[in-house]
A = this chain, B = another copy of it.
Amino acid sequence: MKIAVLGTGMVGRALAGRLSGLGHDVTIGTRDPQATLARTTPDGMGSPPFSSWSASHPDVPLVPLAEAAAGAELVVNATNGSGALPALEQVGAEHLAGKVLVDISNPLDFSQGFPPTLFVKDTDSLGEQIQRAFPQARVVKTLNTLNADLMVDPASLGAESSVFVSGDDAAAKATVTGLLESFGHTDVIDLGDISTARGTEMYLPIWLRLMGALGTAAFNVKIVR
């Protein structure tokens, strides 16, 4: 499948690398490819410069946001939460219409330090905001409940764990579930319509506290039933 991954951080790299490794035709979209490739220092989250990742993934071109989405059948939003809507505006509704838009972003607000708060919650979610802003996109919220390495290689935990999909379009959720299964996810739970993204986004506070308590991000939930 032709897939555009929007975002050059840890999540974007993990998704793009894995999807490319599985044989998909992947491009990464970013606001200013030249600026991104010119950086020589770690990004705000401590990731190595994108250029070093890019050098080891020659099959995954870095192009402007709209160009990436324009040529794709499926688009993955792997931007950080506060940048999600602006990045998608730059993509343009015409390049998202009718396409599956996988939203992995979380509405984290780090402006008051750590732990972050959520800039939308409870009566709305970032997933819903994106669906409302781009009504012709087929938004599926998923993978926002675990760290980037586990998103694309859950088997590395050594025991089954669960991931969730939320969205209004059943066929889009089926497509995304298939991709998740190709990553190794064996327990994909369909929570319901896109408003159920409120649940997975509000899960972030306990995820962050668990990361602190366990001293690692290498964990995930299994829904035991």
Contact = CB atoms under 8 A, between A and B. Distances in A.
A142 interface: no
A105 interface: no
A164 B208 CA distance: 14
Given A122-B117, A157-B225, A208 B199 contact: yes
- Please state the number of chain copies in the assembly: 2
Contacts of A161: 224
Interface string A140-157: 000000000000000001
A220 interface: yes
Contacts of A200: 206
Given A213-B190, A218-B225, A221-B221, A198 B202 contact: no
B222 A224 contact: yes
Contacts of A121: 121-122, 202
A174 interface: no
Q: Interface centre among A157, A190, A191, by most B CB within 10 Å?
A: A191
Interface string A184-214: 0000011110001011101101111110111
A206 B203 contact: yes
Nearest to A212: B192
Contact of A122 (B118, B192, B218): B118
A-side binding surface: helix, strand, loop or mixed? mixed
Contacts of A222: 221-222, 224
Given A161-B224, A222-B221, A224-B219, A205 B202 contact: yes
A223 interface: yes
A206 B199 CA distance: 4
A213 to B, nearest CB: 5
A200 B221 CA distance: 13
Interface string A154-185: 00010111001000000000000000000000
A123 interface: yes
A191 B220 contact: no
Top 4 nearest A-B pairs (CB, nearest first) are A199-B206, A219-B225, A199-B209, A199-B205
